[in-house]
Structure 1
Amino acid sequence: MKRILSIAALALLTASPAFAGKVVVAANSSQGTLDKAGVQAIFLGRTAQVGGQPAVVVFQKGPVRAPFESGVVGRAGAQLASHWSRLVFTGRAKAPEDLADDAAVKAKVASTPGAIGYISDGAVDASVKVLFDF
């Protein structure tokens, strides 16, 4: 029995990717900086613009999603999806894009005015501007 529990615990630890790095909110290089409240407002659909441009909110499916959602947005998983579904259904916001990884988010953000997303700090380069880090 003890061995089965150990195997189950090991499986759970290896099944969910851990992310120990730092996460940053990045946007097109033409944007200014934001504080935590500003980031929350954008990623919860309360603010429709970023730097004078219509906001294009980009979420990531990668391992940085969980720390971002819990550490910055304050909602995660189904709760955040439900929140966005209500906003889209009532016409108050456009659905956020959900991209695969740091590279996809960085490419979208760098090429789209008003786009804002989060990536690991190791992925930051000159193509994007860090608006907020935590």
Structure 2
Amino acid sequence: MKKFLLASLALVSSVCAADIAIIAHPATADVSLEEVSRIFMGRAGSLMPVNLPENNPLRDQFEQEALGRSPAQMKAYWSRLVFTGKGRPPVEVDSVAAKIEFVAANPNSLGYIPASEVTDQVRVIATLAN
């Protein structure tokens, strides 16, 4: 039973850890990963970041890998900025499909999705390989 649980946990971990594609509107200029990090931290205003809801495994993975912070750290970070009036958190959408639609319709937006779900509506500007 213990071996089964460990094998199941390993399978779930590998499924959750997918390659992440950083996406933008097709007309958007190239953006470095450093710039992506600054945009999602509210330190650069050139593009509007688009997030998935809190506790979404892909959002958690993105925050860890691209921003170097845990979900709890990001929540505290944005709470502090909003409270002091120094920033607005990224726009949130409910799903990967909604994010693709939003980014495709808004030339100044930036998001992340599983690399396996990229469509021709958006342009991949970077990939975080896992």
What's the TM-score once normalised by structure 2's chain length?
0.79
Aligned partner of 1:129 among 110, 123, 126? 123
* Equivalent pairs, count: 122
Write out per-residue CA displacement over residues 76-109 of structure 1, whole angstroms, 9 at most, x where no aligned residue.
2111011112222222222212223211111111
CA contact (8 A) 1:27 1:116 kept: yes
Mark the CA change 1:63 to 1:82 in structure 2 (over 3 Å): closer, same or farther.
same
Q: CA RMSD in A?
A: 2.3
4+ residue runs of structure 1 moved beyond 3 angstroms? none
**Structure-1 separation of matches of 2:98 and 2:57:** 14
Give the equivalent residue in structure 1 for 2:78: 84
Does the residue aligned with 2:18 lie in a helix, a strand or coil? Answer: coil
Q: Tell me what 1:31 maps to.
A: 28
Structure with max Cα Rg: 1
Deviation at 1:63, TM superposition (A): 3.0
Identity percentage of aligned residues: 31
TM-score if structure 1 supplies the norm length?
A: 0.77
Cα contact 1:22–1:133 (8 A) shared by 2: yes
- AA partner of residue 101 (structure 2): A
Partners of 1:48 and 1:93 within 8 A in 2: no
Give the one of 42, 46, 66 matched to 1:45.
42
**Paired residue type of 2:77:** H
Give 1:95's aligned residue.
Answer: 89
